């Protein structure tokens, strides 16, 4: 097709202008640095100075069980309820007068150092008793090994009156039992208490036990330490007092 010189020249100029425009757009696209969109979490944390990050702590969201949500950072319900601090008995001098000795009897006096020495091996021992069911030594041994799955040896002593002494070889097994409660054997509660000097099964009682209490749909404002403690005190004695 023939065209006038002026028209052809105009078409060439327009085409050249179009090509220059396209090139400018391409160059500008290349020159402009587009940052990829941030993930929602990073954008949220970055744009808001710590508000949501602190409130939600997005990097540490962990699913916890109902029991764990109750216990929180408390070492364990057993440890709190029974206050497993070892309270030494008042020191008594070995030469203290204990009264007149009946004829035919002897008075054996032990120093405080000796008492401390013979008690030391039992400081990480527990006394257990199954409520509502009598269990023999072998059967209880099988059950607690299945239940606790200890990493090391556990020594067991039948103290009589359905009470048993459990002595742990490893501290980790001892702590696991305390932090993992409550324990049940065939739906019967396994009561636990720390070993104590002068323990006699015939005279000893488990005066209180740790229990978990549910408050279905308790209004949020009642989740206050003092209020919850008052509610608990109406149900049973507060072990912290």
pLDDT digits (tens, 9 = 90+) for 111-146: 999 999 999 999 889 999 998 888 899 999 999 999
Residue 53 has pLDDT above 80, yes or no: no
Most confident segment among 26-40, 54-68, 151-165:
151-165
Residue bearing tokens 């070889």: 169
Helices then strands, counting H and E runs in the chain, come out as 9, 5
- The residue assigned the tokens 């003092």 is 226
| Average predicted confidence (pLDDT) for the chain | 71
Q: Decide: 183 and 154 in contact? Cβ < 8 Å.
A: no
pLDDT over 50 at 74, yes or no: no
Percentage above 70 pLDDT, the chain: 53
pLDDT of residue 14: 67
pLDDT tens digit string along 162-192? 999 999 999 999 988 887 778 899 889 898 8
The C-alpha atoms of residue 233 and residue 236 are separated, in whole angstroms, by 5
pLDDT at 223 over 70: yes
pLDDT of residue 143: 93
Return the exposure string of 65-96: e unless at least 16 CB atoms fall within 10 Å of the residue's CB, then b: eeeeeebeeeebbbbebbebeeeeeeeeeeee
Q: What pLDDT was estimated at residue 157? A: 92
Encoded tokens for 125: 């021992």
C-beta separation of 77 from 181 below 8 A: yes
Give the count of beta carbons closer than 10 Å to the beta carbon of residue 127. 20
- Under 8 Å between Cβ of 175 and 181: no
* Torsion sign, CA atoms 12, 15, 21, 23: negative
| Banded pLDDT at 79 (limits 50, 70, 90) | low
DSSP-derived secondary structure letter, 193: E
Percent of the chain exceeding pLDDT 90 equals: 23
pLDDT of 85: 42
CA gyration radius for the chain?
37
Any idea how long the chain is?
A: 241
Q: In terms of pLDDT, which residue wins out, 102 or 220?
A: 220
Domains of the chain, earliest start first: 74-86+110-209 (3.30.70.330)
What's the pLDDT at 39? Answer: 53
Prediction pTM value: 0.52
Q: What is the DSSP letter of 35?
A: P
The pLDDT value recorded for residue 151 is 93
Token code pair at residue 222: 């009642």
């Amino acid at each position: 097709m023939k065209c006038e010189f002026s028209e052809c020249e105009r078409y060439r100029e327009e085409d050249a202008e179009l090509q220059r425009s396209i090139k400018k757009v391409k160059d500008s696209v290349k020159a402009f640095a587009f940052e990829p969109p941030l993930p929602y979490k990073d954008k949220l944390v970055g744009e808001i100075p710590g508000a949501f990050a602190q409130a939600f702590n997005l990097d540490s969201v962990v699913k916890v069980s109902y029991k764990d949500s109750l216990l929180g950072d408390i070492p364990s319900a057993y440890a709190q309820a029974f206050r497993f601090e070892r309270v030494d008995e008042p020191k008594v001098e070995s030469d203290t007068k204990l009264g007149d000795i009946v004829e035919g009897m002897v008075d054996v006096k032990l120093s405080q150092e000796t008492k401390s020495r013979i008690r030391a091996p039992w400081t990480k021992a527990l006394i257990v008793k199954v409520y509502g069911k009598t269990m023999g030594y072998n059967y209880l041994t099988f059950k607690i090994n299945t239940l606790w799955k200890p990493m090391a040896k556990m020594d067991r002593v039948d103290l009589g009156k359905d009470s048993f002494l459990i002595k742990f070889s490893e501290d980790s097994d001892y702590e696991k039992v305390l932090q993992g409660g409550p324990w049940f054997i065939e739906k019967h509660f396994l009561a636990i208490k720390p070993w104590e000097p002068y323990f006699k099964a015939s005279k000893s009682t488990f005066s209180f036990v740790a229990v978990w209490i549910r408050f279905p749909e308790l209004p949020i404002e009642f989740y206050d330490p003092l209020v919850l403690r008052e509610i608990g005190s109406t149900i049973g004695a507060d072990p912290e007092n």
